[in-house]
Structure 1
Amino acid sequence: MTATNDAAELELTILMPCLNEAETLEVCIRKAQGFLERSGIDGEVLISDNGSTDGSQEIAQRLGARVSHAPLRGYGAALINGIENARGRYIIMGDADDSYDFENLQPFVDRLRGGADLVMGNRFRGGIAPGAMPPLHKYLGNPVLSGIGELFFRPNIGDFHCGLRGFNRESIRDLDLQTTGMEFASEMVVKSTLTRPKYRIEEVPTTLKKDGRSRPPHLRSWHDGWRHLRFLLIFAPRWLFVYPGLIAFILGGLVVGVLSFGGVQIGSIGFDVTTMVYASALCVIGYQSLLFFWLTKLFATEGGFLPSSDRYRRVVANWSAERGLLLGLLLFLIGIAIGIGQVIWWSSLGFGPLAATDVVRVAIPSALGIMLGFQTILMSFFSGVLTTPRRSVPDDAVIES
């Protein structure tokens, strides 16, 4: 059955996404129910089923757990469905493969009662049983991705991808989580750090043991690891686009500007027009990176993937596609003007032979202005498309296929 909106609110929902977990689902439900009985917490066990065909739904119903059927496939889709249907003021989620400790959830509840919006489990602090986590995940995947997540978003947690976590239901609903796949777990943490005011995120030790399934896990190491990394980079466009783009753009432009007035000799090494060619390419690459940052930011905020800050809204309010077009046109015309000046200079010499070095030294800044201007014009048209007002579908609208 599925929760109704007028159902009495409970304090805690223990939520388990499920896709063909008949082997381990019963023991997980019994452990969760045992915790609720021992602790005296007014709660429920909710199974968000993702289309199981092995009788998992019947097992859950027989044991008295509530079953909610997720209409979309995917780990994130199952959890979004569960969060929407949960009756608990607090939710603790965990996989139904008997790897997480559903019998010792009191530390999560205590932190949630204390005002935390999100409470993460830390398997490295609590203990990982032999064989519970592949060495690739334990020594490379999780530490690297957790380190990147900490560097980009500063959640102050040591296990970015622990699947056992608790949260305030309304706080997480307010994040408007979107991803339907394995990235959902990362999206929850990332958006909790990006919202203003920043959510209160805490961490408690938890254990991880080898799951009880005889089949392989749904997780695919390299594929899902890359998806998580890609997701972190998309949600941290400054690290992906701005910082490397600024370095490349400034360095390349500076070198082109200096060498436009003549070659430079440093020790026994000379820098001249060949260096200018590569420096101009570096400048273009950096500028493209900065333009992609702006377009990514527009797309992510317009689509609800990233929250928009007050400063960002002010910038968008003062920016228009027309201003971008004018800037692009100005850069383009500067490049054209330099090229025309070179032709006039050539005509003053009777259109005779020119030294290749002198020609290239002027041609590179001209070409650079033309390229940067044209890129800016295209970016401005695209940003206009992204920011065009659109009719939104009401939350209560029903779309039938």
Structure 2
Amino acid sequence: MPDPVLVGPSLAEFQEARERISAVVTQTPLESSHYLSNVLGDAVYLKCENLQRTGSYKIRGAYNRLSRLSDEEKARGVVAASAGNHAQGVALAARELGIRATIFMPVGVPLPKLQATKDYGADVVLRGHTVDEPLRAAAEFAAETGAVFIHPFDHVDVVTGQGTLGLDILDQRPDVETVVVPIGGGGLISGVASAIKQRAALDGRTVRVVGVQATNAAAYPVSLAAGSPRDVTILPTIADGIAVSRPGALNFEIIAGTVDEVVTVSEDEMARALLVLLERAKLVVEPAGAVGVAAILAGKISASGTTVVVLSGGNIDPMVMERVISHGLAASERYLKLRIPLPDRPGQLATVSALVADCNANVVEVLHTRHNGGLTISQVELELHIETRGPEHAEQVLARLRDEGFEPRVDF
């Protein structure tokens, strides 16, 4: 691995950025997690950037980038494209620095993110249905008006600003041995890894940095294996905040030299992580911000000593949260959806309901139909949605139904 002191911004530049952004950025809490500590087998702390101003770490890089513009560039204004966190970071930074900001966002952007960006004072233009279309529109706007395009991750000033988070972690937890960080384009982890590795080296020690991507948007494992940035096809993912099809050029160079490992997590694993954070840590975190927790729960992180997991953002649409919670309950086997073929005669629904109740499970939804394919003329199908206390309780319900002669099928 290359000497981390030679990769990325210098430690002095990270420290200067930290001072520069201190008037706007807060030092977010570092909270211990007994639940995750038990899972990992050693101390785990959560770095709560979901509680940062604008709801994510993005204000760090945005404010550092905008504050370093020349007076002439500030007068031209700035433009950015984003579906959420970067938009809010740029909008707030621009307001604080007295710079006009124009943000292009997809037409389907969640209302809370749209309204927050407007409330920070930016001019918002809705364009297209994916992030690619607003990006093209923002580039055209910059070419036509002279506004400065603010890239979400592939710029040295953005990387330097994001890296101040690494200095915070070392100040709050000097004994940290592993830091787990979400990866999209790579702006956050490239800054954090570079800053942490450099400062730890001054103390004559090393800190391990692990990146986590969504399996459906994992450009870094492929790119690192190839030795250069590669494009990947983005599949549908709840982690929209890190759904980036190609690593940033600068970010890739830094990550290749400073990040020790990159792992991926599935949609179910992310949904389960959000549920654990809500129930056990009382924290609202967006799916992209919870991938580090997902990796621990899935057994994909091995660490000894103190581990810090970065919760990178908390800007989740309530409608998405509702769906994710339901999915997380199902992934944790605390929400069963059963299909049971029954003889078409009176009393069958009452019998099944009584058996479920005897197991102390709760039926929350019922569908009774004669019209599903595969049923004989003398059968009906019962669809039950049942709340359970977890995998063991779910299996007890299924076993009881089978013991009584029914044939329940779990429908995911």
Query: TM-score scaled by structure 2?
Result: 0.26
The structure having more radius of gyration, on CA atoms, is 1
- Identify which of structures 1 and 2 has the higher relative contact order when contacts are C-alpha pairs closer than 8 Å and 6+ apart: 2
Indicate the structure with greater strand content.
Answer: 2
TM-score, normalised to structure 1, is 0.26
